[in-house]
């Protein structure tokens, strides 16, 4: 819809092109052709399908009738210049909030299901630390009763049309949609992304990095990869990008991470039956207690008798 919305700007000529006409006809077709809209019926399960992009966001209010999805109403809105700069996770949340506001006369006091292609959305509902904007959104959503279900993006084309409006998009056949639930804890990248957006300091860096609000030397220290903030470090002549783990979760990561090298199993030394068969040797130093001490002692211990022999070495030259 963005090309059509652009024509409404003031002090501009209206260059109506074949592309504009194609978009107009596509919208008319989607809104009027099958699947035909049905009248809202609270006796059927309610679903709200949402999607968002930097250009806009959309939603479809649907019923599940005999295992098939039936459309009740469509909703879409263009993003403002400020909203278009939001992080994708925030855009998806914004789509849900505004869709719920639009359909609140249907949804208030009833249970419904939100279907989205954003993995981090469900995880954010249980967060404690959110930036002020997202916190206000979730405070509003708490007045409704709903669950969130993830569905991969390629199976959300029916809503994607309203947020991106791809001209060559075929109309989705809702009866062939199959729902799929996933365990969000199994997706480590999205877990980290959700936790980063939950951290106020990291969120601030991400927002400023996206909006070019950081000094150049500071911005060069960071990099965004699939929405996740990474820190650049130099190591042996190479530039490495390491994901930034929020402070509140660092001990959790450390406790579950590998301790480093794989430790070999300990093998006990067989006991001997005669003296001086096996001798343990080690060296110790800094006898004076000073860090710059160069005095060392060689220690020998007989494994059988535990006899200790010490040999004082000359200071290292």
Per the structure, the count of domains in the chain is 3
114 found inside a domain: yes
φ/ψ (deg, to 5) at 261 = -70, 150
Q: 317 pLDDT band (50/70/90 cuts)?
A: very low
Are residues 158 and 214 both part of a single domain?
no
Is residue 158 domain-shared with residue 52, that is, in the same domain? yes
The pLDDT value recorded for residue 293 is: 63
- Within this chain, do residues 44 and 157 fall inside the same structural domain, yes or no? yes
Span 79-109, pLDDT tens digits: 888 888 888 778 888 999 999 999 999 999 9
- The verdict on residue 8 lying in a domain is no
Query: Which residue, 244, 243, 219, 221, is CA-closest to 232?
Result: 221
Q: Pull the structure tokens for residue 1.
A: 């819809």
Give whichever of 10-19, 85-94, 137-146, 279-288 has the largest mean pLDDT.
Answer: 137-146
**Do 57 and 128 fall into the same domain?**
yes
179 pLDDT band (50/70/90 cuts)?
Answer: very low
Which has the minimum average pLDDT: 57-61, 128-132, 288-292?
A: 288-292
Give dist(CA 198, CA 192) in Å, integer. 10
Confidence of residue 78 (pLDDT cuts 50, 70, 90): confident
- Same domain, yes or no: 66 and 144: yes
pLDDT at 21 over 50: yes
Domain-embedded: residue 13: no
Using the predicted structure, report yes or no on whether residue 233 has a pLDDT greater than 70: yes
Q: Over the stretch 138-172, which tens digit does the pLDDT of each residue have?
A: 888 989 999 988 876 555 555 454 444 433 334 34
Last residue of a domain, one of 112, 147, 164: 164
Single out the residue in 102, 130, 164 at which a domain terminates: 164
Out of 125, 147, 164, a domain closes at 164
Parallel/antiparallel/unpaired status of strands 68-78 and 56-65? antiparallel
Q: What is the pLDDT of residue 178?
A: 37
223 in the same domain as 104: no
In a domain, 123, yes or no: yes
Of 176 and 33, the structure prediction assigns the larger pLDDT to: 33
Residues 210 and 158 in one domain: no
Query: Do 242 and 299 belong together in one domain?
Result: no
Tokens found for residue 14? 């209206």
With respect to residue 3, please indicate whether it lies within any of the assigned structural domains: no
Is 173 domain-assigned?
Answer: no
Q: Are residues 84 and 155 in the same domain?
A: yes
Q: What is the CATH number of the domain that holds 157?
A: 3.30.420.10
Range of the domain at 52: 34-164
Q: Let me know whether 72 and 157 are in one domain.
A: yes
The whole-angstrom separation of Cα 113 and Cα 233 is 43
Please indicate, yes or no, whether residues 248 and 292 belong to a single structural domain of this protein: no
Same domain, 40 and 124: yes
**146 domain residue, yes or no:** yes
H/E/C letters for each residue in the chain? CHHHHHCCCCCCCCCCCHHHHHHHHHHHHHHHCCCCCCCCCCCCCEEEEEEECCCEEEEEEEEEECCEEEEEEEEEEECCCCHHHCCHHHHHHHHHHHHHHHCHHHHCCCEEEEEECCCHHHHHCCCCCCCHHHHHHHHHHCCCEEEEEECCHHHCHHHHHHHHCCCCCCCCCHHHCCCCCCCHHHCHHHHHHHHHHHCHHHHHHHHHHHCCCCCHHHHCCEEEECCEEEEEEEECCEEEEEECCCHHHHHHHHHHCCCCCCCCCCCCCCCCCCCCCCEEEEEEECCCCCCCCCCEEEEEEECCCCCEEEEECCCCC
Does some domain include residue 4?
no
């Amino acid at each position: 819809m963005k090309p059509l919305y652009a024509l409404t700007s003031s002090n501009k000529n209206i260059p109506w092109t074949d592309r504009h006409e194609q978009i107009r006809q596509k919208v008319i077709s989607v809104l009027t052709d099958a699947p035909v809209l049905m009248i809202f019926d609270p006796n059927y399960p309610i679903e709200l399908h949402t999607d968002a992009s930097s250009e806009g966001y959309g939603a479809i209010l649907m019923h599940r009738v005999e295992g098939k999805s039936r459309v009740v109403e469509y909703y879409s809105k263009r993003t403002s210049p400020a909203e278009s700069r939001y992080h994708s996770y925030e855009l998806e949340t914004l789509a849900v909030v505004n869709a719920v506001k639009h359909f609140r006369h249907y949804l208030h006091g009833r249970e419904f299901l939100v279907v989205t292609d954003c993995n981090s959305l469900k995880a954010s509902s249980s967060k404690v630390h959110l930036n002020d904007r997202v916190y206000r959104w979730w405070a509003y959503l708490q007045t409704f009763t709903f669950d969130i279900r993830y569905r991969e993006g390629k199976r959300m084309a029916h809503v994607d049309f309203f947020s991106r409006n791809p001209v060559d998009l075929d109309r989705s056949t809702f009866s062939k949609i199959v729902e799929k639930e996933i365990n969000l804890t199994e997706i480590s990248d999205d877990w980290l992304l959700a936790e980063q957006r939950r951290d106020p300091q990291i969120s601030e860096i991400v927002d400023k990095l996206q909006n070019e609000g950081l000094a150049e030397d500071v911005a060069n220290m960071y990099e965004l990869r699939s929405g996740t903030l990474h820190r650049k470090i130099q190591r042996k002549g190479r530039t490495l990008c390491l994901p930034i783990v929020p402070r509140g979760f660092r001990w959790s990561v450390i406790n579950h991470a590998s301790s480093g090298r794989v430790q070999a199993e300990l093998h006990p030394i067989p006991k001997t039956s005669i003296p001086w068969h096996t001798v343990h040797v080690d060296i110790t130093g800094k006898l004076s207690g000073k860090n710059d001490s160069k005095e060392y002692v060689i220690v020998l211990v007989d494994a059988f008798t535990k006899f200790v022999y010490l040999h004082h070495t000359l200071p290292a030259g």
